[in-house]
Amino acid sequence: MINLGQKFPEFSKQATVSTAPGKEFKTVTNKDHISKKRWMVMFWYPKDFTFVCPTEIIDFNDKFKEFESRNCDVIGASTDTEFSHLGWMTSHPGLKELQFPLLADTSKSLGEDLGILEDGEKIAYRATFIVDPNGTVKWICANDLSVGRNVDEVVRVLDALQSGKLTPCGWKKGDKTLN
């Protein structure tokens, strides 16, 4: 797996951004957040049309304004196609109005560069990356396929990283930092 302090790999991938006809897809790159001097959270999930994955995607969407207020782009990603993403978004009530792109890593090249693909079917583990505005990986969390992540923890860690201070265990925005 890629390490903390390394540059996030370069990528240019198709993503599903909307269910509106004619506005479904766009190209997303690693330079998008850098050019805007924004943070990026990229979270990977195993597959479309599964059971745990939509719970996480919906929670990221529910907290989208929290990421926006922290100058942070959110990108969901899997090895499914952009057409699979669109079909899932169209058919699942909780995914119809996503506010962030679902990246299609159909070649699995980005997943391989990140080192997050499981050995068998080569689907992605539930990996989350926080990347600073310079493109440097600042936080990584990876779960087994069956275990959903905690989006509140992603927000908490983003706050801690953006504080630029030493933060104790369980620290939340507004708490005292360490000297």
Rounded distance, CA 33 to CA 40, Å?
6
In the residue annotation, 53 being an active-site residue is answered as: yes
Q: Please give the structure tokens belonging to residue 47.
A: 């597959």
Annotated catalytic residue, options 53, 72, 141, 169: 53
Within 70-142, where are the H helices? Answer: 82-91, 109-114
* DSSP conformational letter for 156: H
How many residues does the structure list for the chain?
A: 179
* DSSP conformational letter for 135: S
String of DSSP letters for 28-65: EETHHHHHTT-EEEEEE-S-SS-SSHHHHHHHHHHTHH
Query: Active-site positions?
Result: 53
